[in-house]
Amino acid sequence: MSYSVETRQRLERDAKEIIARYPKPRSALLPLLHLVQSEDGYISQDGIEFCAEQLGITPAQVTGVATFYTMYKRRPVGEYHVGVCINTLCAVMGGDQIWEELSEHLGVGHDEATEDGKVSLERIECNAACDFAPVMTVNWEFFDNMTPEKAKKLVDDLRAGKEVRPTRGPDKLCTWKEASRILAGFPDGRAHEGVQAGPESLRGLEVAKRNGWTAPPADGDGEGPAESGSQEGGDQ
């Protein structure tokens, strides 16, 4: 099913704005894929053909990119897409157990959605938030220091339509389609809400400030922090 005239015109306006940001049109492919995902909820064949037409490349070239990156989905996901980190640190801190219990609780596996279409589940190799392990995401917003019980309550609240607030970031969650539009380069004006970086992420910076440490200059001639001593040891 192709896009309606109204939908296509709207997408073309947005695509024109996206493409204008780049010196070469083809460089706009990644945000364009997020744009069509914000429309369909996944990368549909219509979306692939639309991107190809806008950039003057083939659908096969678009498909090659869309199937390489896991943030682009080739089938519909839930309104709230839940990622559970199972990489090394999160795994040993409880991520594997969270995944197993959450998958059983929802009755879905990797990249599968619940029957009501509210929640889908994904194994994430790394959420780049090891200082808050074990970590989960919902539509790419962070939920830190999770447990199986907290994870199950989170998805139950999402399915019940309750308001859920991420540990860091905006004051409330957006939907999967809304998140995809933000990633296409159309901000929702809420980037500065909530906690931006938690104490765990800033601890190294605080230690450096207390000890008067600074980064060496680019030429490498500067002196770095002391290799050992009571100050450094006292902060460990």
| Tokens, residue 173 | 């969650």
Rounded to two decimals, the pTM is 0.84
CB atoms inside a 10 Å sphere around CB 109? 11
Task: Kindly indicate the confidence band of residue 198, based on its pLDDT and cuts at 50, 70 and 90.
Answer: confident
90 is in an annotated binding site: yes
What's the gap between Cα 18 and its chain centre? 20
Rounded average pLDDT over 166-192: 92
Higher pLDDT, 224 or 153: 153
45-69 pLDDT tens trace: 999 999 999 999 999 999 999 999 9
163 pLDDT more than 70: yes
Sign of CA dihedral 131, 132, 135, 141: negative
Q: Which range (28-37, 46-55, 133-142, 209-218) has the least confidence?
A: 209-218
**Based on C-alpha coordinates, what's the Rg of the chain?**
21
33 pLDDT more than 50: yes
Higher pLDDT, 198 or 211: 211
Rounded average pLDDT over 33-42: 97
- The predicted pLDDT at position 203 comes to 86
Strands 136-138 and 80-85: antiparallel
Domains along the sequence of the chain with CATH: 5-66 (1.10.10), 80-175 (3.40.30.10)
- The predicted pLDDT at position 221 comes to 57
174 is in an annotated binding site: no
d(CA 152, CA 22): 42
51 is in an annotated binding site: no
Rounded average pLDDT over 202-229: 75
